[in-house]
Structures are given as structure tokens and as C-alpha cells.
Amino acid sequence: MIRRYILFGLVTLLFSFSSYAQYKQTGGFARLLGMGGNPYVVDPYVMTVNPGWGGYYPNFLWGDLGGGTGFGPGGTGQFAGVNFHLGRGFTLGGMLTRNDFNGLSIAKLDPGVLVYTGGGDLTLVSLTSLVPNVVPLNNNLELMGAYKTGNTSIGLGVAYASTTAEATPSAGGTSSASASQIGVNAGIVTKLSGNFMLDLGASLLLPSATFEPATGSATEFSQTYILANARFFYNYSAKLAFVPTIIFVTSSGTADIGGATTTSTDLTSMTLIAFGVGINYEVGDFLLAGGPSFATTSLTIPENTGQWPELSQSVLSFPMWNLGAEWNMNEWFVARLGYVASTHKATADIEESGTEAGEFITTLFGPSGATVGVGFRLGNFSLDATVNEGVLRQGLNNIGGGGPTFAYLSASLSMP
């Protein structure tokens, strides 16, 4: 679970360092994956974290076609977004996302996981699965706006999703279940001088779920997620930029479980702090980006008497590497390579009834290895893809073979 939070945190480290005219109106999550999950490259995906960047992507239609196979008409991770320039520095946009959105922002529904006991085992489940008969959240609608004046752009976003279920049997009595999530984020991007730019963003997510039986007390779950990120860009030369980053994520919640008497308890809490230092080195049509990062994550699972003791877990993540290269080979084709690797040291402390019961230390490794990506530019339309690298190893076997060529797809359209 902690590695999932770390992935969410790293996905949010998206930004750029350029003037307004230099921002390429192309890209997406597939591009980032193809460059080793790179947190240091310019990409419109940054708007999901900081709506202030919307001022740099006017008249822009974008989204993910996703990857793999999933529910509904397409693969996992699909979403659609649009951003319109209204004039006088104002832009207004929106996104429609599903419950499998990639990244931690107000576009993500029920972003965390809780711990409960099932057959004596600790099992990870979503928020709504703990509350009986609650329909899981889906189809999240986000509205965002930005105002750009001079070298400063500020933005605000709000998102909302909800579900309901109600049953009234012929025998009488009505039970109901509901879930909702409200998300708000804000951000500012400002150029401090010719060589320095500052990017600040913050998000607040409030998921909740309630079940009210025909008789007895209601069961209510609620959580709070706070995300803050700061970026400082130093343009050392026309070719090289240094990019230090910091991100902070915390979550907590409460549960009021109904019955003969209502029992109130704290839910699992989590805090993540991450630092990174990367570079962007650009020569002509070639871009080299990446660097190391450090993260510390702590997780506390409160004691449930008779079920499990209090469990505290911390993870020290270092080094985490995200490296990528991109080469615009011609006007319509872009080639990408990347590499990602991470090492984690996890420490778990078990405390039962206020007494230390044990400590366990383990070394963990995140997903690592090379990534490959491509981009196609057809006028104002762009299609970016993460390549299934196995296709490259198959060689002539690709002729008549049944394996997928692309692992993830993003699309965008710049509207002049």
C-alpha cells in the first residue's frame, strides 16, 4: 500500500520551465510513462495537479485512451478534458474521469485504501467497500479555471461525484446508502526573474460514505486528503535547467460504526514527504531529463480490540531514479526511452495495548527497468504511446503475432 502512495506522489511531480510560447501543446500520461515515469518534463498532464497551468494550455482538447483491458468501452485509466481560452487572460476547462484515474489529485476518486480484518488477515479495500450497499464512486466531474497576467498564472479547480442506493421492501422500513467526494485545488505559477520560476499547488479531497439501516444507527466513514507541492526552477543556461521539487501528502479519517451503540474510531492515517532534484538538458530536437529523489512515508493503523494490534509502518525510499530521453526525429514522429528504479527500506512496529510487540525491517524494490515510447504528430493532433517493449524483442515474430504493440495511449488536439 505504501508503494501505491509513493507512486501517486511521484506522478504529481509534473511541471515545466519555459516561456509561454515554448510550451508544446502535446503530451499526456503515456508520454511520461515512456520517459521512465519522468517527473521533470513539461507536459499538459500538470494541469491535473495545479490548475494554474491551465493558462498555458488554452484551446486544448486532451485525454487518455488508457491501457490494458478494463470495464466499460475501453481500457483502464481513460479520461477526457478540455480547456478554452475566454479572452483577457481567462481560461475555463473541465475533466471527466473514472475511478481508475492515474495520479493523486482531485480527479482521483477514493484515492486511498483502508485496512480491515477478514478471516484474521489484514486486507486492503476501498473506502466504499467497508460500508454495506454503497455504490462505488465513478464519473468524477472537475471544473477548473485560470487567470494569466504578465508572468503569473493562478488557477482554481473543483470536483464532485456521488452515488445513492435506497431499498424499501414490502415488509416496510427503508434503508439507504450514499457516497460522495468533494475536491478543491488551487495553484500559482509565477516567474520571479529571467532565470527563476516558482510553482505552488495544493489540493483537498473529502471522500465519505454512509449507510442508514431501516432500524438502528447509521454507519459513516469520512476521510481527508491534503496534498501540497512546491517547485523551483533555475534556468542555468539556454540548454540546462535544474529542478528541485518537494511534495507533501497526508490523509486521515474517522469511522462511526452503527449498531446497538455507535462505535467511533480513527481510520488509517498516512504522511508522505518527497524531495527530488532533476535536470532538463535540451539540445536542438533532443531532450534529456531526470534525476534522483528521496521520500519518507509513515502509516499508522489504529488498534482494533480483538481484531488486530496497532501497526505503525515507515518507509525510507532512496534512491529513486526517473530518467528519460526524447528525440523529435522529424515533424511527425518522436522517439522516447526511459529507465526507472527505486529502493525502499520498510520498518513495521506492532504495539498491542500500549506494549511493544515487535519490529520488522525489510528492503523492498519498486518496479524497475527500461521504458519505450513514441509520439505521432499529425497537424494539431497528437497521439502518444507507451510501447510494449516486448514487441521490440520479438523481431520478425511481430508479423502475424498476437501481442499488443502499445501499452498505454494518450491523445490531444490543439485548437488555434
pLDDT in tens, 328-386: 999 999 999 999 999 999 998 876 656 666 778 899 998 889 999 999 999 999 999 99
Reported CATH class of domain 2-414: mainly beta
Backbone angles phi, psi at 322, to 5 degrees: -130, 110
Q: How far is CA 366 from the centre of its chain?
A: 17
**Mean pLDDT value of segment 201-216:** 88
SS3 150: coil
In percent, the amount of the chain with pLDDT more than 70 equals 80
Task: Determine the Cα–Cα distance for residues 35 and 330; give it in Å rounded to an integer.
Answer: 18
pLDDT of 107 above 80: yes
pLDDT the model gives residue 301: 82
Instruction: Provide DSSP, 193-218.
Output: SSSEEEEEEEEEEEEEEEEE-SSS--
Per mean pLDDT, which range of 16-20, 62-66, 277-281, 359-363 is the poorest?
Answer: 16-20
The torsion angles phi and psi of 8, rounded to 5 degrees, stand at -60, -45
Render pLDDT for 28-87 as a digit per residue (tens, 0 to 9).
Answer: 999 999 999 988 887 899 899 999 999 999 999 999 998 875 444 557 899 999 999 999
Classify the phi-psi angles of 239: left when phi > 0, otherwise alpha if psi is within -120 to 50, otherwise beta: alpha
Q: Are 272 and 247 in contact (CB under 8 A)?
A: yes
At 267 the pLDDT is 84
Query: For residue 408, what is its C-alpha cell?
Result: 498505454
pLDDT confidence tier of residue 130, bands split at 50, 70 and 90: low
302 secondary structure, DSSP code: -
Q: Read off the pTM.
A: 0.85
Among candidate residues 285, 243, 326, the one with its CA nearest the CA of residue 14: 243
Give the model's pLDDT for residue 393.
66
Residue 229 and residue 245 in contact, taking contact as beta carbons nearer than 8 Å = yes
Q: Residue 316: what pLDDT?
A: 95
Sign of CA dihedral 295, 206, 410, 234: negative
* Alpha-carbon dihedral angle through residues 111, 3, 77, 391, given to the nearest 10 degrees: 180
pLDDT: is 212 or 200 the higher one? 200
Mean pLDDT of the chain: 83
On the question of pLDDT at 17 being above 60, the answer is: no
Q: Output DSSP code: residue 48.
A: G
Mean pLDDT of 156-163: 96
Q: What's the confidence (pLDDT) of residue 262?
A: 62
Q: What is the mean pLDDT of residues 286-303?
A: 92
Tally: H helices and E strands in the chain:
3, 20
**Domain definitions of the chain by residue range:** 2-414
pLDDT digits (tens, 9 = 90+) for 174-189: 888 888 999 999 999 9
The answer to whether 2 touches 291, Cβ cutoff 8 Å, is no
What is the per-residue pLDDT for 117? 27
> What average pLDDT score do residues 16-37 get?
72
- Sign of the alpha-carbon dihedral angle for 49, 55, 60, 61: positive
Q: What is the pLDDT of residues 239-251, one digit of tens each?
A: 999 989 999 999 9
Q: Which residue has the cell 481484531?
A: 307
Phi, psi values for residue 412, rounded to 5°: -155, 155
Contacts of 26 (CB under 8 A, 6+ apart): 44, 375, 377, 382, 384, 412, 414
- pLDDT at residue 205 greater than cutoff 50: yes
